[in-house]
């Protein structure tokens, strides 16, 4: 999809990637450690992926959560997949502090 900002990334800080997905650090001063896990190919919903890809994608989301917990010791981790503003499959992994 040519007009999708997640299909045409610009100025991302990529922390990790493979052929299926990438993990970026979101530049948001209010949320230290905020990461986004993005599916490489354009898809809108988790059910657009075959079961093995869904499992792989969620394994990466959970791995990011685990690393953030170990590195930052947050009070809570928020996980969210909305896609209302950018309908490209991605997960927000946000460490939260009291």
* Rounded CA separation 75/9 (Å): 31
Task: Give the Cα separation of 34 and 68 in Å (integer).
Answer: 9
Q: What is the mean pLDDT of residues 20-45?
A: 97
Q: How high is the pLDDT of residue 38?
A: 98
Please compute the mean of the pLDDT values over residues 42-63 and round it to a whole number: 98
Report whether pLDDT(87) > 70: yes
| CB within 8 Å of 63: residues ≥ 6 apart | none
pLDDT at 1: 58
pTM value is: 0.94
Task: Check if CATH label 3.30.300.100 holds for domain 13-96.
Answer: no
In the prediction, which pLDDT does 9 show? 83
pLDDT band at 90 (very low <50, low <70, confident <90, very high): very high
Strand order of the sheet with strand 76-80?
13-17, 21-25, 35-39, 90-96, 76-80
């Amino acid at each position: 999809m040519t007009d999708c900002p997640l299909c045409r990334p610009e100025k991302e800080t990529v922390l990790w990637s493979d052929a299926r997905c990438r993990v970026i650090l979101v530049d948001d001063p209010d949320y230290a450690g905020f990461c986004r896990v993005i599916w490489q190919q354009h898809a809108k919903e988790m059910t657009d992926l075959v079961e093995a890809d869904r499992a792989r994608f969620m394994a990466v989301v959970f791995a990011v959560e685990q690393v953030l917990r170990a590195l930052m010791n947050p009070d809570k981790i928020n996980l969210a997949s909305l896609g209302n503003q950018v309908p490209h499959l991605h997960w927000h992994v946000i460490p939260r502090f009291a």
